[in-house]
Amino acid sequence: MKGRTQRTEHVYPHGWDVVTQAFWRKYPNPMLPHVEKMEVISRFLDEQGRLHTARLGVCTPTNLPEWAEVILGRHSFVYEETVCDPHAKTLQLKSTNLSYRSVAVVNEDCHYNSLGPSATKYVQSSHVQAFVPLLSRQFETFWVERGNETAAAGLRAMETLCQAVEDTTTAGEITY
């Protein structure tokens, strides 16, 4: 397969219920300024009680090199599908870029799986394939490096949100 892949693994020291509550509160977030908003397109429960959600993300890259901004512009859109299974304690996300697909396609998979009452495993991988003659490798390298940066920022944001969820749960109030 052509292109480049980026992968992140992390174990949150929080239960799956806490992590998934934090996940749904992740955007908008000042710690993640590249995502302006996430709009819900559809949401339904299937016969097994799994929540299926489709969302559209509006992004403003904050760390684009000038040469890429000239080519790509300032806004991009991402399509995301999520399946949240409260019985199996899993949340799976798939996303892909809707913008600039003639330049590159970026597909991301994320999995949150319970490891027991106080731990949740997170595995994220993204694959980028660029289609720009003579510049494909530079684009792919940029997206992988940016993916590593945003993954690290996302982990920090999720840890902060998980702690906030636990703090409000301990205080007896849950704010949605």
50 with 85: CB under 8 angstroms?
A: yes
Give the orientation angle of helix 16-24 with respect to helix 136-170, to 10 degrees. Answer: 120
What pLDDT, on the 0 to 100 scale, is given for residue 171?
Answer: 63
What pLDDT, on the 0 to 100 scale, is given for residue 154?
Answer: 94
User: CA distances (Å), 27 to each of 80, 127, 167, in order?
Assistant: 13, 22, 19
What pLDDT, on the 0 to 100 scale, is given for residue 64?
Answer: 67
What pLDDT, on the 0 to 100 scale, is given for residue 176?
Answer: 44
| Strands 35-45 and 51-59, sheet pairing | antiparallel
- List the chain residues with pLDDT less than 50: 174, 176
User: Where exactly are the structural domains of the chain?
Assistant: 4-169
CATH for the 4-169 domain, from 3.20.20.60, 3.30.470.20, 3.30.530.20, 3.30.160.620: 3.30.530.20
What pLDDT, on the 0 to 100 scale, is given for residue 112?
Answer: 99
55 with 47: CB under 8 angstroms?
A: no
What pLDDT, on the 0 to 100 scale, is given for residue 84?
Answer: 99
158 with 22: CB under 8 angstroms?
A: yes
The whole-model pTM stands at 0.88
What pLDDT, on the 0 to 100 scale, is given for residue 66?
Answer: 76
HEC per residue, 4-46: EEEEEEEEECCCHHHHHHHHHCCCCCCCCCCEEEEEEEEEEEC
CA separation for the pair 97, 39 (Å, rounded): 15
SS3 category, 52: strand
